[in-house]
Every structure is written in C-alpha cells, then in structure tokens.
Structure 1
Amino acid sequence: MKIAVIGGGNGCFAAVADFAEAGHQIGWWRRNGPQSDASELTLIDHKGSREIAVRATDDLAAALDGAELIFIPTPAFSQEDIARSLAPHLRDGQVIFLAPGSFGSLRMAQILREAGCSADIALAETGTLPWLARKQGPDAVRITTRASRLPTGVFPARLTDRALEIIGRAFPGVIERSEDALSGALMNAGPIIHPPLILMNAGPIEHFDRWDIHNEGTQPSIRRIHDALDGERITLRETLGYTAPHFPLRDHYETDQWMYGNLAHDKLVGSGDWHEKLNLDDHRYMSEDIAYGLALLVSVADWAGVDVPVAKGLLALASAVTGRDLRHGPRTIEAMGLSGLSRAEMTELLQGGKLSLAGAAA
C-alpha cells in the first residue's frame, strides 16, 4: 500500500527505510524536501548495511495522494502545524498514525475540523516510536531494535477496526488494541522514562559534553522513581476503567514482554548512539515528554481525582529548570477544552468523535 511519512527525524528515517524495504510505496514529505542529492537511504541494523531507494519531496499533496496510511513519528509540539498543513489534502478512509501521540490524535482532530476538513478519517496513537534509531548523517539511519508490541488507541474509537487493519499492514504482528485514544495516550512511555533520567542527571548533563542517560545515568535510585511514576500512570489508567496490559516500564528493563522485546535496554546502551549532547531547555525529552506528555498525565489525573505526587513533583522541577509553568501547557485537557466534561461525556467523545462535546467546531 502507499504510506505517507511526514517529517525528517530519526523515526521518519527508520520508517521510510523499513516501509520501502518491505515493498510499500512511499510518499515522504519533508518541509524543505531532500537534504542532499542522494536518492537512497543507508539502512544499518543487525543484518548489516544496505541502500534503500527512496527520496523526499516538499510537495505534500503528492506525498499524500493515494496514501491509505499517514505516518507521523514527529514530536508532539509539531502536530498542530502538521494538522493545518494536512487539512486541505485529506480524503475519506485515510488513517493518521502518531508514534507516540501525547493525545495528539484528539488535538489534531480538533485542528482539522477547525481548518474545515470534513474527511472521514481515523487518528491513532501508540505508546512509543516503533524503532530505537538514530540518524548517522544526512542519508543514513541505524536501527538498534524494532518494536515487538505497539498498544494503539484510535480516535474516534468507533473506527478502531478499520484503522488497526490498515496500520497492521505496515506493522504486521505487533499492533495491539487499546480501548480508545486516551488509553493510547496513557501508554506513552516517554513521559515515564525520560523525566527522571534528565532531571536526576541534570548535573552531569550540564557538566559533560556528552552523557548517556540510559547507561551511566540509569542508577537504582532513578529506577525507583521510574517505578513510582509508572505506578501513578497505571493507577490512573485503572481509575479510568482501562484494563491490562498496562505495559509497566519495569518490563523494559527486566523482561522481554515490553514494547521493544528482548534485551532492548541492553541493545540501546550497547549501540552508543545515546551517548550524546543534551540541552535541558529544548531537548525533546523536556519540550515533548515533559511539557506535553507529563503535563497531560498530571492534568488528566487532576480531572479524574487521582493523586500523582511523583508526576507533579517532576513537573514542578522541570518548570523550575526551564523557567516556564509547564503544568498549564498546550496539551493539558484544560488547554484542549476537555476539563468540563464528565466521565460519561469524555467516553462519548472518545467513542463517537463528536468534537462539539469539547467545545470544538463540529
């Protein structure tokens, strides 16, 4: 099938290479088009190195034309602008897949409707990027490992069967059904794994030119904070009526049952690709995983009446580090116009997709 890939980051490179090698037709949109004269990507993984014929375009309409799946593995802070760009070009039956989403499935749906898009589409989001990957230059990507399980929620949930069938053709055998888009958003691993790693490693991050938060930075005290924070996420999911599996982060470190499967953490550390320069002010671990993902979790917990002291503490620390009030950021349910909904109204919105319930344009 034809898959449109939106963006030019690590996940986009990995997606384009894997989808093309699997035989899919690729429409790859980058805002500034190709970044070199090359018409190939070099894919490096456990099989070795090989060239994949593919080329980016700055023609969004051409990239989207005929695409059944629109794959967007870009940071959450890019989603609103991307939605506005997509709005004139979307057609009935297409599926947008965010990896991950930070509840971007619902926010992008709001933006699309506000922009006058009436296409009957589904928007889905999963709990992690489907690859542990890093670019190795302007035309190369190394994939350390691939996801083996991708819990995925769909907005509106009434379109889940159709959406997961299409997504499953791009990711055969790994897509797992989540109840709805909020369930999918609360599977997002980034707001659980990264805030303790960057905030509790702030000293060495600022002192050393490069620092591996997953190797030297993953110490027992930090793992205990991970588990406490993840326990709050799981309690929130259970309070909202979402059922297991909840994909506890502990499984990433201790078992082969998490999203990336066997020895994923060891492979990540062994690659050396995450021994890198981090800027606490603008790295996506702060600007996405905390400012969007963790702020969303805290806002949903407040709405649901669930106590999340570790999440709130980390969010307060991040606000102090950046000098910005991250609790009242753009991806909280207050900012999305959802905080006045009852539990029943939220369920109706997530199932049926009638955005007027949230005060957005229908």
Structure 2
Amino acid sequence: MAKVAVMGSGNGSQAMAADLTLKGHEVRLYEMTDFINNPNTKYVFDNKQIRLEGRAGNGIATISCVTSDIVEAVKGAEVIFLPLPAFSHDYYANLLAEVAEDGQIIVLTPGNLGSLVFKKIFSDKNVSADVVFCETATLNYDARILDPGHVYVYDRNYGIKCGVLPASRSSEVYEILKKYYNEFIPCEDVLACGLHSLNPCLHLPGCTMNAGRIERSKGDFYLYEEGITPTVAKVMEVLDAERGSIVKAFGYELMTVAMELAEGREPRTIWEEVNGCQTLEFIKGPTSLKNRYFTEDIPYGLVAWSELGKMLGIPTPLIDSFIEIGAIIIDEKPRETGRTLKKMGINDMTIEELKKYLGH
C-alpha cells in the first residue's frame, strides 16, 4: 500500500481519491479551509466516505485522511496529485514549497505547463527538497459530483500524454506512476506535454462562436452535439494547425486534435470525428461564459501557446484573435494574468537554453 496525497475536493479530486482508495492505496485528501463548508466537501470531511460509480468502478471508498492541514496531507506521501484547474497552480506551488519532502513526485493532472510554474516558484523560494514535477495533458477522469459524497465517472481517459521535469528522470518517475495509473504515455518533456493539452482547441472555437447560445440557453447547451458544426470544426482545424506549427518547430512529434479523437484509428477531419461521437454528444455545457472553458483555456492555454510562438518567431493570428475576443468575454486581461513566459521562468531563453532547462 502506497501513501499518496490528492489536492482539492472537486469532481476530479474526489474521483481520484475514491478510485485510488478502492485500489488499495492510502489516500490523504486535502482541501483549503475556505472551501470546507461547501456541501460536497463538508460531507466528505464529516464522513470520510465517497461513493464512486461509473467507468472507474463502483464502491464506497473510506478515505484514510481528509484534512485541511497540508503537513498532515503530504507527509510521507510518495506522490502528490493535483487534479486541479490551472489558476490554482500558483497557490499550491507556494503552499507545497513549504512542506515538500525529498523523493516526492508532484503530478499536475492536467498541467498546461504548470510544472514550469512550480519549478520557478520552488527555485525562487530556494526549496532544497529533491522533488520531481510531472504533468499530464488531461485529467484521468471525466467526472461529476452528483450529490454530497457521490461522484460519477462518465469516462476514463487512456493514452494520456505525460511529461517529467527534469526530463532526465523520466524513466524512474514512470515506473513509480505505474503503481497508480497505466494510462500515461511518456512525452519527451513537460513542454511537449503542455503543447498537447488540447482543451483550448476542443473548447474555445465552439464556445466562443456560440457565446450567444450559451447565454440564452441557461444551461441547455450541448457543446459537441450542437456547438461543433462543420464551419466551427474548420476553425478548430486552423487553430490546431497553429499549435501544430509550434510543436513541430520545437522538434516534437505532433498529435493533432483529429488524431486524439480517433484514438488510434486513421484520423478523419475534426468534424467527422466529433459528429455522432457517442462519448461526446451527451456532454452538456458550459452553462455560462464564466466557465473554465473560457477562464482557464484562454489565459492558461492560448496565452502560453501565443508566447511560445513569439519565442520561435511563429505567427499565431487565430490564437491571438481568440485571446482578444476572449478577453472581452471573461472581462480580464489574459496576457497579464495568464501563463506567460516570465511566469513559467523561461523568458529570454534561447531554444538550446530551454531544452537544457527542461532537463535534457
């Protein structure tokens, strides 16, 4: 039995805590005191139980430790999992920098290049613990909390790209992660992984081009079934092509959105892959323009891609257009608040310097 820590108490965190517990691991679930009174969180704090249903299995998991004490949560943990949105990464990097121990692996699921943010903050704080950072391209679970103490997994994600920082320690990290998940596919490094976090391409064209429908529908909107039309899919193809140019310029092997959706088959167009896809057609939402499809994918996805394009001298006109339109939608300045090269600690680096920084 291995000891692991899971940060947060949202959909992904509760699914992960329950799943890993039912697999026989000792799980410590951590949540900030600010969120303990949320009904879904309070139930788990009071009862230490989560009922898991769906494609991750079925059962009632009794969580070993549910706490708002970060020391209690991470002490002796082999792996610290963060199935959290990107906007939480700065907070958790600062929090974990104070308590991380030698030999621990910090895994962001997904990362959106947040591993670079963690590395910078740990460096700025002169953390001496020998910690390895790791990030995935997406979350392991498509899950929703149905009721307090009850989480349902609609689908499990397999073949998930995963990168390690430093890259030189990838082999040892993957061997450890196999104890918990078999679905991770090694990437060359965390940058390759972050550039394959495909949510901005999957979400933003359909959401932005259907902003009026989202506002008007009051929650009755199906992104893939009604929001992705042939025209919207064409825009997705161009957006994905701009991302692909950045991926190729760094020398990484490219997986397109269509290839991701094809899951090993010969890929068709994005429209052909989305149209009638049974795993996508019943997904509802977003319910408002404040959804993370906007507030996360724009500042922490598109902004990072745009800045990496500038580093390489690659134009990204459609990515930049969605950032500008998105700034109005979310009433924010994403180029100031988002995932910039400076916040990732890689500004003013040459490509060679960046590769060395990544651990090659």
TM-score by length of structure 1 reads: 0.88
Provide Cα deviations, 1:266-310, integer angstroms capped at 9, x if missing partner. Answer: 22433xxx4245331x32111211111111011101111112222
2:314 matches 1:306: yes
Task: Name the amino acid aligned to 1:58.
Answer: S
Partner of residue 294, structure 2: 286
* Paired residue type of 2:189: D
CA distance in 1, matches of 2:97, 2:321: 38
Distance, in Å, in 2 between the alignment partners of 1:293 and 1:257 is 27
5+ long unaligned stretches in structure 1? 353-362
Report which stretch shifted further, 215-224 or 69-78.
215-224
Structure 2 unmatched ranges of 5 or more: 267-272
Asked if the contact 1:253/1:265 (under 8 Å) is kept, the reply is no
Amino acid across the alignment from 2:18:
A
Q: Distance in 2 between matches of 1:59 and 1:332?
A: 31
Aligned to 2:243: 233
Moved more, 330-339 or 185-194: 330-339
| Inter-partner Cα distance in structure 1 for 2:161 and 2:329 | 32
Q: Per-residue CA shift, 1:336-361, capped at 9, x if unaligned?
A: 34221111111111116xxxxxxxxx
Contact 1:105 1:124 in 2 (8 A): yes
Distance 2:109 2:200 in 1: 13
Matched residues in 2 for 1:277 and 1:344: separation? 40
1:200 to 209, 232, 235: 209
CA separation of 1:14/1:156 partners in 2, compared to 1, >3 Å: closer, same or farther? same
1:358 corresponds in structure 2 to none
| 8 Å CA contact 1:209, 1:277 repeated in 2 | no
Deviations 1:49-83 (A, max 9, x none): 53121252112111111111110010111011111
Q: Which amino acid aligns with 1:6?
A: M
Distance 2:70 2:331 in 1: 36
| Moved beyond 6 Å, runs of 4+ | none
2:346 partner SS: coil
Question: What secondary structure, in the 3-state scheme, does the structure 1 residue paired with 2:281 have?
Answer: helix
Deviation by residue 1:301-322 (Cα, 9 ceiling, x = unmatched) = 1111112222112112112323
- Does the aligned pair in 2 maintain the 1:97–1:167 contact within 8 Å? no
The answer to which of 216-225 and 5-14 deviates more is: 216-225
For 1:23 and 1:49, the matched residues in 2 are separated by: 14
Secondary structure of 2:178's partner? helix
CA 1:218–1:104: 2 relative to 1, 3 Å: same
CA distance in 1, matches of 2:86, 2:15: 18
Alpha-carbon distance between aligned partners in 1 of 2:192 and 2:262, rounded to the nearest angstrom: 24
Q: Where does 1:107-256 land on structure 2 (aligned, <5 Å)? A: 107-172=117-182, 174-210=183-219, 211-243=221-253, 246-256=254-264
Q: CA deviation at 1:41?
A: 0.7
Q: In the alignment, does 2:327 pair up with 1:326?
A: no
Aligned residue in 1 for 2:352: 344
Cα distance in 2, alignment partners of residues 327 and 93 from structure 1: 35
1:152-205 per-position Cα deviation (integer Å, ceiling 9, x unaligned)? 111111221222222222112x21111111111101121221111210110111
Q: Distance in 2 between matches of 1:183 and 1:47?
A: 27
CA change 1:156–1:252 in 2 (3 A) is closer
Instruction: Measure the CA separation in 2 of the matches of 1:249 and 1:64.
Output: 36
Indicate the RMSD between aligned Cα atoms, in angstroms: 2.2
Cα-to-partner distance string for 1:120-167 (whole Å, 9 max, x where unaligned): 111111111111111112211111111110111111112212222222
Question: 1:87 maps to what in 2?
Answer: 97
Q: Helix, strand or coil for the counterpart of 1:162?
A: helix
Alignment deviations for residues 225-264 of structure 1 (CA, whole Å, 9 cap, x no partner): 2222112212211111112xx3321134444569xxx999
Residues 158 and 253 of structure 1: is their aligned pair in 2 closer, same or farther, counting only changes over 3 Å?
A: closer
Which of 266, 272, 279 lines up with 1:267 in the alignment?
279
TM-score (norm 2): 0.89
- What residue identity is the alignment partner of 1:182? L
Q: CA deviation at 1:89?
A: 1.4
Contact 1:45 1:142 (8 Å CA) reproduced: yes
Instruction: Figure out how many residues of one structure are paired with residues of the other and give that number.
Output: 342
Q: Would the alpha carbon gap of residues 265 and 19 (structure 1) be closer, same or farther in structure 2, given more than 3 Å must change?
A: farther
Give 1:327 deviation, angstroms: 2.9
Mapping of residues 59-78 of structure 1, within 5 Å: 59-78=69-88
Which string of whole-angstrom CA distances, capped at 9 and with x for unpartnered residues, describes residues 196-224 of structure 1? Answer: 12101101111111122122222222222
Query: Residues 330 and 275 from structure 1, CA distance in 2 versus in 1: closer, same or farther, beyond 3 angstroms?
Result: closer
Contact map agreement 2:56 2:153 (CA 8 A) in 1 = no
